[in-house]
Structure 1
């Protein structure tokens, strides 16, 4: 009986602990949400600068639409941006805004004026386009449900004009694909004149013969016309992107449409790092070939934090011919390990810079053993998130030993995942000496000899299965960043 009572008491204590943890989690989420809303209100005040700030804030609170979608979808012709925008609208219950539905509004005098210009195949003036956007976004459906803007802005001038008018997206998705793929897609387009449905001769051909027979080739999709539009797009997009440095995600559309959609959906449902209640100090650990560099780059792009690669820092020091670079050079020339104290001096100098202090950092390539971890901590650089990427031995060997480089073009290939397109290229490919199996095995063995001591040294470790699609791995890492601090958690 006593043992049973003890077990019951222990189970009750565990239930109470779980409930308390859930309550703390809810409170933290509520706090973070409120911080985000306060920051959004501050942003609106700075943009609009109302004469009556108190009244403006009261109206803003009454609308209660801080978290509704406000998304730009950009991309070249035939990248699929309209399809992705439509799917996002259906999923998020937001309003779709395109140039076409802006001008085909018979109830708007501005739209009628714009339609006359459009029918003459002339460009709609930017000032008129802005008025149409402001008119549409003032509608109740856009205010309460949010909006997704498809294909606008097309130029930097439009982007700046839209910004100064107070229209500010929370997420910008840019689709990209090779021009050859886009031209092929465009050439295969066919339109059903009875309902406007779009088909493709390769990817989406209707099964009904009746529908097949009535399909028409749309105007403006010839190879020559498509190339002109692509050249115009490429000239403009590089000037547009700097307008959205912290809210931008580039997604390859040269993959199944469903995959593109889910990547876009994951991004637009996320909150930006600038709204987070703490500054990320992230450490990525894992054997060579586990994907640390890629994940660090994705984190830096998504959250605007600084990507700190220890190996790259040392190379930059040597290339700069600085005094510390001259100390490192002999070790590089003799292919010897650089002493920990020198590495720490270089690393400390980088992590103390203002951008790392303000925005946070993601570090990889250091520490590799307990002594280095102790040295990092003694300098005051304590990560608040530590991820260990676990990848099976055979997978690492496969990832690295099959890598090749074309010495003529510098293009990188992988004999399994990205094989060379021709036999001529394959015959001249070269393997980096460090990718030979015996060298890779030494690096893997070195990591696993020290990994258990590193895991014990850090308190806030999260284990991630790195033998998955890179974006799946990224989502697991991201969940570990935005959730409360874990303790020895596995993903």
Structure 2
């Protein structure tokens, strides 16, 4: 939002002292200068007020942003990390558009869009849909009016550095990347204990949510790929994908094991903030960490009002 004249600028308001912020390193948005103001008059997010003194020939305009730019968030987590639950909680509170590449792909195919028809050709042959098709689907969805207006939560994507680079080339960059971290033994336990009731479609867990009756227990089935061996293979693939995505940001270092305590470690680099969240906690404990990070990000990005005497 950037573009001579000497412009008086309103001093920044004094902030009340508060606890150290994980976003402390983020720079404050610049005060608006004269060259920016003409663009703001046409910005629907800017509230404009024009005041005219009765005995003065000059008018004054005061500009203040009505609300900050919408959030753009990516979230990643291993199978059974609770990512789906956190996505629901995030979208419910912040109103972000939840976008999952797999769901998007199926929707495009069902709707018969151009990208969907191209993808279907590969799916019918039992082949993987090429990256360029999926990236195009994701890009177009992120640029839809609801995503631009409300912000978005991109779930489990990108999964490779090439996908991340492709999104960046389209100008798509998140404000925050959330990585849910759960110890592998807990993930294995969560997956291996899952059972499906073929009659009702309800999912049970032998330890955490056992069936109500012996009759139900007797008919429960286990997915063929929910064995310990297959789960560990999927986890290895997930970790490799995550490392590949994070490695594309040269100035970011991840301490993947440094999340025993229920805290957030914020790492800043190349315009991207990465939040490591301890997923081995209750869903509300995990969401509190994410919520704190998102709230702090919003506070840091609030625009500072400026004035112009014309």
TM-score by length of 1: 0.41
Measured at CA, do residues 373 and 480 of structure 1 come closer, stay the same or move farther in structure 2, by a change above 3 Å?
A: same
Question: Following superposition of structure 1 onto structure 2, how do residues 162-241 of structure 1 map, counting pairs within 5 Å?
Answer: none
Q: Mean Cα displacement is larger for which, 383-392 or 284-293?
A: 284-293
8 Å Cα contact 2:161/2:247 also seen in 1: no
Give a deviation string over 1:249-303, Cα, whole Å, max 9, x none.
xxxxxxxxxxxxxxxxxxxxxxxxxx86231100001222222221111111111
1:449 has 2:240 as partner: yes
Question: Following superposition of structure 1 onto structure 2, how do residues 392-411 of structure 1 map, counting pairs within 5 Å?
Answer: 392-411=183-202
Partner of 1:339: 130
1:419 has 2:232 as partner: no
Of 378, 390, 404, 2:181 maps to 390
Partner of 1:378: 169
Q: Which protein is richer in strand relative to its size?
A: 2
User: Structure 2 regions of 5+ residues with no counterpart?
Assistant: 1-18, 32-65, 250-268, 299-310
1:354 has 2:145 as partner: yes
Measure the CA separation in 2 of the matches of 1:436 and 1:332.
Answer: 26
Partner of 1:482: 295
8 Å Cα contact 2:204/2:210 also seen in 1: yes
Give a deviation string over 1:25-79, Cα, whole Å, max 9, x none.
9x97xx9xxxxxxxxxxxxxxxxxxxxxxxxxxxxxxxxxxxxxxxxxxxxxxxx
1:311 has 2:97 as partner: no
Measured at CA, do residues 276 and 425 of structure 1 come closer, stay the same or move farther in structure 2, by a change above 3 Å?
A: farther
Measure the CA separation in 2 of the matches of 1:403 and 1:437.
Answer: 12
Q: Which protein is richer in helix relative to its size?
A: 1
Partner of 2:265: none
Measure the CA separation in 1 of the matches of 2:107 and 2:220.
Answer: 27
8 Å Cα contact 1:280/1:359 also seen in 2: yes
Measure the CA separation in 2 of the matches of 1:307 and 1:290.
Answer: 17
Measure the CA separation in 2 of the matches of 1:473 and 1:382.
Answer: 24
Deviation for aligned residue 1:322: 3.5
Deviation for aligned residue 1:365: 1.9
1:457 is paired with a residue whose SS is coil
User: Structure 1 regions of 5+ residues with no counterpart?
Assistant: 1-18, 32-274, 486-491
Higher relative contact order (CA 8 A, sep 6+): 2
1:407 is paired with a residue whose SS is coil
1:337 is paired with a residue whose SS is coil
TM-score by length of 2: 0.64
Look at both structures and tell me which one has the larger radius of gyration over its CA atoms: 1
Of 66, 70, 75, 1:284 maps to 75
Measure the CA separation in 1 of the matches of 2:201 and 2:77.
Answer: 27
Measured at CA, do residues 21 and 432 of structure 1 come closer, stay the same or move farther in structure 2, by a change above 3 Å?
A: closer
8 Å Cα contact 2:74/2:156 also seen in 1: no
Deviation for aligned residue 1:337: 3.2
Partner of 2:286: 473
